[in-house]
Amino acid sequence: MKINNQKKENVQKQQKGGSVNLNFSCNKYSINKLELFQQNLLKRQYLVKQLIINLNESHLSDQMMKNLQEILLKAKVQENFELNLVSSLIESYQFISEILQSQNQLINLSLNFGAVNMFNGQIDFICKGIMNYSNLQKLKLNLTGCSIQDQGMEKLAVCLVQFKKLQHLDLNIQQNKLGEKSGNHLSAALCSLKELSILKVDLNQNQVFSSDLLANSIKNIGYLNNLQEMQIYVSHKILVFPQKDHPKYVNYLSNYFNELSKCVNLKTFSIDITPSIFNNQMLCQHLNKAIILMSFLKILKISGFEGSLSNLDQLLNGIEFHQSLVYLSIDMNIQPKNLTKHPALKKVKRLVMCQS
């Protein structure tokens, strides 16, 4: 067990009712550490401001989860709770749900279920566990490779709608089985979060991924007037054009960039998307239009550019007149030396250009 504070002796001097940060790690080889953690917590009798529990690659039996539930009830976590269960075997999700329900006073919550096969039914337990987090302001949820389909995404979307005070959402739903319907469910939930200022969504490598998932996922997001930072990640291996300038796919992505153009209050925008879109001049024009309309934009990051010099010129056209832009990062396959004279690149105060 690690007590995460500036100095351990400061923790020992805390009187009853004090507040500390705790970091507990336990793996399949040291399950007995859980009992020691509980004894230490009860002996000190202080309130816990932040609790981080790492149970990665563990076999979480019902008894162990019951013990953990009792510990968390006594811990009285005040603000921040992080639970990491990457690649763990969970016998009963009911205990996970009850553990989460007991912490509904939290402001910040981070749940890491990477590579845990929960499917659609199990995610329902997670949603029930956090449904009543009325004070939640920041949610980081990693569901990478959890075999979630459209039905599970619908349940998650219904849950997200409840977080009326949410300001920061970091949602990693890569390597699942999400399609067009999932995009609709996600956008409906996001548009209800009126206080949201930071949005990060990772859609990489979904097995039934299509361009409409991407476009639908941010549909009407321009109505979020407080949104200031957005990061979108999409796998270039999955999102591809079957044929050059295929009308259907170009139309989907055009709609996506049109939605981006409504996010006029963004200060930070990052996009990591399929390189093939940058070979289409019309799509470069749409993305350029969206960037130009983000009149408060300070930081712009573009990854995966594999288009021609002329298309890059189209993408950056007029950015030199962007009054607020101070940081520009482009990851591309073009020699940076060929672009040093571009007025948009000369204008920004800090320029990062990487060759793929």
Give the model confidence (pLDDT) of 292-313 as tens digits.
Answer: 989 899 999 887 777 677 888 8
Question: Is 280 among the domain residues?
Answer: yes
Question: Is 84 among the domain residues?
Answer: no
Judged by DSSP in three states, 110 sits in strand
- Predicted local distance difference test score (pLDDT) of residue 57: 84
Rounded to whole angstroms, how far apart are CA atoms 32 and 19?
Answer: 26
51 or 38, which is more confident?
51
Residue of 60, 71, 140 lying closest to 93 (CA atoms)? 60
Q: How confident is the model at residue 13 (pLDDT cuts 50, 70, 90)?
A: very low
What's the number of domains the chain is made of?
Answer: 1
- Predicted local distance difference test score (pLDDT) of residue 320: 76
Tens digit of each residue's pLDDT (9 = 90 or more) over 86-112: 888 888 888 889 999 988 899 999 999
Tens digit of each residue's pLDDT (9 = 90 or more) over 142-173: 999 888 889 999 999 999 999 999 999 999 99
Tens digit of each residue's pLDDT (9 = 90 or more) over 226-260: 999 999 887 544 444 444 445 666 776 777 788 88
Mean confidence (pLDDT) of the chain: 78
Instruction: Please check the confidence at residue 189 and state whether its pLDDT lies above 70.
Output: yes
Q: Who's near 233: CB < 8 A, 6+ residues apart?
A: 174, 201, 202, 203, 204, 272, 273
Run of H or E residues at 314: helix 309-316
Question: Is 25 among the domain residues?
Answer: no
Chain centre to alpha carbon of residue 94: 25
Question: Is 308 among the domain residues?
Answer: yes
Chain centre to alpha carbon of residue 172: 5
Query: Which of 128-137, 180-189, 212-221, 309-318 is the least confident region?
Result: 212-221
Give pTM, 2 decimals.
0.86
Question: Is 209 among the domain residues?
Answer: no
Question: Is 348 among the domain residues?
Answer: yes
Chain centre to alpha carbon of residue 263: 18
> What range defines the domain where residue 345 resides?
240-356
350 or 280, which is more confident?
280
What is the number of other CB atoms lying within 10 angstroms of the CB of residue 110?
Answer: 17
Query: Which of 6-20, 124-138, 186-200 is the least confident region?
Result: 6-20
Residue 318 backbone class (left: φ over 0; alpha: ψ -120 to 50; beta: rest): left
Question: Is 334 among the domain residues?
Answer: yes
- Predicted local distance difference test score (pLDDT) of residue 12: 40
- Predicted local distance difference test score (pLDDT) of residue 338: 57
Average pLDDT over residues 61-70: 83
- Predicted local distance difference test score (pLDDT) of residue 56: 85
Specify which of 37-46, 64-73, 145-154 reaches the highest per-range mean pLDDT: 145-154
Tens digit of each residue's pLDDT (9 = 90 or more) over 325-356: 888 888 776 665 556 667 767 666 666 766 65
Q: Where in 98-235 does DSSP place strands (E)?
A: 108-112, 138-142, 168-172, 198-202, 229-233
Question: Is 8 among the domain residues?
Answer: no
